[in-house]
Amino acid sequence: MKQNIYDLDIFFSGYFNLRKNESGLNLVLEEPAMDSLLPDLQGIDVLDAGCGFGKQCRFFSESGVNSVTGIDISEKMIGFAQENNSAKNITYLQTALEDAVFPRESFDLVVSSLAFHYVEAYDRLVDDIFNWLKPGGRLIFSVEHPIATAKPEQQWIIDEAGQKMYWPIDQYSIEGPRSTKWFVDDVIKYHRTIQTYVNTLIDQGFRLIRILEPVPSDEFIIGRPDLEQFLRRPAFLLISVQKR
């Protein structure tokens, strides 16, 4: 199932304001962790799978890469990226990750930020990316942490005083779609265990380089005490692998 929630006006507006004000977790957790995994960018060809507004594509473009290709299912996202984050060495394509087609060994690096949990056929996507990568090329991606996606109702259990007691984990080993609410109802994400994320990559022929479950720094927690909860349960899972 390929769900394009980002072109819904109410969703796009909510998500745009979230990223514009950087009030989400991307800035403090996911982006620094992703950056820490990046290889040398000089002269390489990059694919950003699920490029969104094109912020990361612009970063790559200005960091010495040869070319950047950004793909996204959302017409609104691609339109914004083309208008606000364009450059001579960036190509944007509107397509679902599952429908993307590229020649074999087109890229040195494939990155994907918080998109793979929207893809039903993860194993097929991994196979495609393996073929798109040059020998020695890397895949680096982030997903919402499986501890969060396991239970559709993503919320803390609180006591009578409203204090967070614990994060419930249920149906962890039961993989498949989860319907949640995020700006709109019935947002479909696909829950997978950590072993499925990792072993699918290994079985395809990737070499595991690094796994990260980032936590906020003390500096961020001082400014935003609400982030302390992510010392108690992880928000994101990041995986870096290399094509043998």
**pLDDT at residue 22 in the model:** 56
Beta bridge partners of 46: 68, 109
1: confidence class by pLDDT, cuts 50, 70, 90: very low
pLDDT average, residue stretch 103-123: 97
Average pLDDT over residues 104-118: 97
Q: What domains can you pick out in the chain, each with its CATH number?
A: 5-243 (3.40.50.150)
Q: How many Å apart are CA 177 and CA 191, to the nearest integer?
A: 6
- Where does the pLDDT of residue 187 fall: very low under 50, low under 70, confident under 90, or very high at 90 and above? confident
- The chain-wide mean pLDDT, for the chain, equals 92
The 3-state secondary structure of the chain reads: CCCCHHHCHHHHHHHHHHHHCCCCCHHHHHHHHHHHHCCCCCCCEEEEECCCCCHHHHHHHCCCCCEEEEEECCHHHHHHHHHHCCCCCEEEEECCHHHCCCCCCCEEEEEEECCHHHCCCHHHHHHHHHHHEEEEEEEEEEEECHHHHCCCCCCCEECCCCCEEECCCCCCCCCEEEEEEECEEEEEEEECCHHHHHHHHHHHCEEEEEEECCCCCHHHHHHCHHHHHHHCCCCEEEEEEEEC
Most confident range (mean pLDDT) of 152-156, 162-166, 201-205, 220-224 is 201-205
Model confidence at 24, pLDDT cuts 50, 70, 90, reads low
Q: What is the pTM of this model?
A: 0.92
Question: Is residue 19 scored above 60 in pLDDT?
Answer: yes
Beta pairing, strands 157-158 & 133-144: unpaired
Lowest mean pLDDT among 47-56, 87-96, 178-187, 204-213: 178-187
Name the residue with tokens 């994101």. 236
Confidence grade of residue 7 (pLDDT, cut at 50, 70, 90): low
pLDDT at residue number 2? 77
Given this model, what pLDDT does residue 28 score?
86
The pLDDT confidence band at residue 16, using thresholds 50, 70 and 90, is low
User: Residue 244: what residue type?
Assistant: R
Please tell me the predicted confidence (pLDDT) of residue 180: 82
**Long-range Cβ contacts of 70-75 (<8 Å, 24+ apart):** 71/47, 71/95, 71/97, 71/100, 72/6, 73/2, 73/4, 73/6, 73/97, 74/4, 74/6, 74/7, 74/12, 75/7
